[in-house]
Structure 1
Amino acid sequence: MEEELKSMKDNEVWDLVELPKEIETIGCKWIFKTKHDSKGNVERYKARLVAKGYTQKEGIDYKETFSPVSKKDSLKIVMTLVAHFDLELHQMDVKTAFLNGELHEEVYMDQPDGFQDEGKEHMVCKLKKSIYSLK
């Protein structure tokens, strides 16, 4: 959980601000996953902070939805080009790829439970970048 929050802080995902009048916040929650290696042994535990995007209202909290994922056809084309031109292909994983999505709407989220900034418990997170489950 601390690693996830450090990543969000490093990527400047939100600013802590006073909640404007007449604005509602969306909540957030933690999703936990156990990662296993190829032999089934526990490799590591992963925590992901996600927004409760299902509480957002279209036209107020968001205008359109978008998910930055690749399609199988795109992968097939790349693989075909690599094979045809005898190229080398390297795979990489961007741990925080989702956090690169800039927000154009004003979205306010509650601070994560157990991780409120001391002395600023009454403040909320004004999201600057997209997080998981946000519309």
Structure 2
Amino acid sequence: MQQELAALKANGTWSLQALPPRKKLIGCKWVYKIKFKFDGNVECYKAILVARGYNQVEGLDYHETFAPVVKLVTIRLLLVIVLS
């Protein structure tokens, strides 16, 4: 968990802000996972900090969401167009 927190801080994943009036705080929780090698031995233990976004209500806690996702095929196509 310490390594995950250090990585999140080093990447600048978040910044502390004051809570706006009449808004509730979103909690977080740790999710633990054990990754195995192909032969069944333990490869590593993972700890991931995730937000409890399921407690939010659309229109009250947030108005819109945006998650940009790009496929590798799209990036290749754009690079071909730029290079030509």
What is the TM-score with the length of structure 1 in the denominator? 0.46
CA distance in 2, matches of 1:33, 1:69: 27
Task: Name the SS for the 1:6 alignment partner.
Answer: helix
CA distance in 2, matches of 1:19, 1:25: 7
Greater CA deviation, 27-36 or 8-17? 8-17
The question of 1:48 aligning with 2:48 is answered yes
The within-5 A match list for 1:1-135 is: 1-59=1-59, 60-64=61-65, 66=67, 68=69, 70=71
Decide which structure has greater strand share: 1
Q: CA RMSD in A?
A: 2.4
CA distance in 2, matches of 1:37, 1:11: 28
Q: 1:41 to 1:62 in 2, by over 3 A?
A: farther
The amino acid that maps onto 2:38 is S
CA distance in 1, matches of 2:35, 2:2: 17
Task: Name the SS for the 1:54 alignment partner.
Answer: helix
Decide which structure has greater helix share: 2
CA distance in 2, matches of 1:39, 1:54: 36
Percent identity, aligned pairs only? 44
Q: Give structure 1 regions of 4+ aligned residues with deviation exceeding 6 angstroms.
A: none
Higher relative contact order (CA 8 A, sep 6+): 1
What is the TM-score with the length of structure 2 in the denominator? 0.69
